Structure 1
C-alpha cells in the first residue's frame, strides 16, 4: 500500500514524488501483484482513471497530520492485512501512524529543519526530530532520495545503515528540450527577453538567493536578465531587498509561481540555469534543467554534485565572487554552454522514474518475502 495523501499543492515536491512513483510502480507489477493506494477520493479517482486495473484504492479523508490518523490508519491497515489484501505500507512522509500493524517503508528527504535552525522555531525543530525519530523506529526500511540524504540521516538519527537505501529521484518525461515555437510562446506569455539566466525554486533562506543577487550585481550592466521563478514566501524578503539596495531591481525579475506546463519551455529557453542552494535532499530543478537542455551551474553542497556529476559547473555557495565568475563564463562562452548542454542531457538520461520504481519494488518484494 502506498499512501498518496500528500499528493496535494501543499506538498509540491512530495506530491510529485508520490504520483510519479505510483505511476511507475503500476507499470512494473507482476501478474500476482497489485498496488493499493491510500488517499482522498479526488486523488484516487484522478489516479485510477489513468492506470491499469491492477491498481486498487482505499479512500481515507484523514489528513496525515491529525491525531485521528494514529488510530484510524492502523485500524484500516490491520483489516487489510487480515484479509491478505495488503502486505506492507509505504509512507512518503516522516509522519507515520504509530504501530501501523504492517511492515513499513518510509521515504526520507532532508534535514532542513535541523540544518538551518535559525529559520525554524524551536518547537518546529523539536517536533520534526521527535516525529522523524518515531517514524524511523517504526519503519522496517527507509528510502533516502540521495546518498547525501542517506549520510545525513545516518549521522543524525539512530538507524542501522543496512535499513537505509538511497534511490535517486528523476525528472518527469515532459522535461525535455522544447521546440523553438513553444519557447517563444512562453517567453511572450511572461514578457521575457530572448536571453536570461534562470533560477527555479523557493526563496527559503537555504536557497541562498541573497548571494545569487549579490553575485549577479557584480556582472556588467549588459548581463542578461536574472529570472527568479518559484513560490515567494513573504517572510523572507531579503533577496528582493538586496536587488533594490544594489541597484539591479530592474534587471532581476521575481516571476513567482510558474504554471507547471510552462516550466519545460522556460528551462529550454534559458541561456543558463543557476542554482546556488546551500542544502538539498536531491535538487530536482537542476535535473529538470539538464533534461531540458539548459547549461547548468550549481553549488557544490550536499546532494547536488552527485546529481550533476561532471555535467555542470560547480561553485562554493558561500563564495559570491566565484558565483559571479561562473555566471560570467556562461554568458561569454558559447562553446562551454554547448558542452554543458550536451553533457547535461546525457546525465539527465541516467535518471528515470522506471529505475526508481524498480529499486523500490525490490525493497517491497524483499520485505514481503521476509514476512511470508
Structure 2
C-alpha cells in the first residue's frame, strides 16, 4: 500500500485512519464516496409486500437492523437498548408489541447474541431472519418503523443509505465515519451507551416531527452520493496518476 501512487478512501474518516495506521502521507490519499446500489431506487417494490411479511410471520410493528453481524456492529448493545424501549413502551397503544428484526445471519451462529436475547427476556420480540433476497430486503426496509445502525466502526456504512431510499428514518452512531456520511439526515447516538441508543429509538418512534424531518433529510441526502459521480472521480484519479499529477487537496 505504501508504494501505491494513489490510494482511494471511501470517507475522510477512512483517509485519516489510513494515514494514522500505515503512516501514509495524506497527500497520497483521495476520498471518493460510496453510493447507493441503483436497484434500491430504480426497481419497483414487490407488489405482494403484505404477503411477504405474512410469510415471515411479521404481523407487528418492527424496527430493523440489516447488515453483517460482527462485533463492531454493536448488536449486543442494540438488543439491550431495545429491551429498555420495550419496557418504556409496554403500554403504548401502537408499540406495545414492537419487534426488533435482524437480517444478515442466523442467531444460532452467534451465541453471544443468543445470550443477550435470553438475558433481556426478549425471545418473543427479537427475531433473526438470516439472509433474505434483495427484493425481500427492500420490503423490510420500506415497512420498518426505524432502521437502527449503532455501529462502533464504519468506513462508510451503506445500509443506512439503503433504508433512507425507502423513506425509513435512521438511527446511527456519532462515531467513526457515520456523522460525516449521514450528518443531519440520521439521529446520532453514542454507540457505547445503551440508554442513549434507547433514547434515540424511542424518539424516532414517538416524535412525529422528528420522524418526518429525518425522512425528508434522508431523501435529500441520496443526491449527494452517486456512482456516476464516483466513477468519474476514479477515472480522473487514473488519468492524474498516468500524467504524474499530484492528488487534489
TM-score surpassing 0.5? Answer: yes
Partner SS state of residue 357, structure 1 = helix
Runs of 4+ in 1 over 6 A off after TM superposition: none
Partner SS state of residue 356, structure 1 = helix
Partner SS state of residue 63, structure 2 = strand
Partner SS state of residue 121, structure 2 = coil
Select 2:160's aligned residue among 259, 274, 286. 286
Partner SS state of residue 212, structure 1 = helix
Partner SS state of residue 199, structure 1 = strand
Partner of 2:6: 141
Structure 2 unaligned residues grouped into runs of 5+:
91-95
CA contact (8 A) 1:225 1:253 kept: yes
Distance 1:368 1:140 in 2: 10
CA contact (8 A) 1:198 1:267 kept: yes
Structure 1 unaligned residues grouped into runs of 5+:
1-135
Select 2:101's aligned residue among 227, 232, 235. 227
* Aligned CA distance change for structure 1 residues 185 and 174 (closer, same or farther; 3 Å): farther
CA contact (8 A) 1:198 1:228 kept: yes
* Aligned CA distance change for structure 1 residues 269 and 235 (closer, same or farther; 3 Å): closer
Deviation at 1:158, TM superposition (A): 2.1
Partner of 1:329: 203
Distance 2:51 2:154 in 1: 32
Distance 2:198 2:107 in 1: 25
Distance 1:233 1:282 in 2: 25
Q: What does 1:98-247 correspond to in 2, within 5 Å?
A: 136-176=1-41, 181-193=47-59, 195-219=61-85, 220=87, 221=90, 222-232=96-106, 236-247=110-121
Distance 1:252 1:351 in 2: 32
Q: What does 1:45-56 correspond to in 2, within 5 Å?
A: none
Aligned-residue Cα RMSD (Å) equals: 2.0
Distance 2:205 2:143 in 1: 14
TM-score where L is the length of structure 2 = 0.88
Partner SS state of residue 41, structure 2 = coil
Q: Select the structure of larger CA radius of gyration.
A: 1
Partner of 1:117: none
TM-score where L is the length of structure 1 = 0.60
- State the Cα deviation string for residues 73-125 of structure 1 (Å, max 9, x = none): xxxxxxxxxxxxxxxxxxxxxxxxxxxxxxxxxxxxxxxxxxxxxxxxxxxxx
Deviation at 1:180, TM superposition (A): 8.1
CA contact (8 A) 1:187 1:194 kept: no
Distance 2:16 2:218 in 1: 25
* Aligned CA distance change for structure 1 residues 352 and 267 (closer, same or farther; 3 Å): same
Distance 2:101 2:3 in 1: 43
Deviation at 1:139, TM superposition (A): 1.5
- State the Cα deviation string for residues 196-252 of structure 1 (Å, max 9, x = none): 100011221111001000011112341511001113486642122111111111100
Partner of 1:261: 135
- State the Cα deviation string for residues 254-305 of structure 1 (Å, max 9, x = none): 1111212322221111111010110011111111111221100101110111
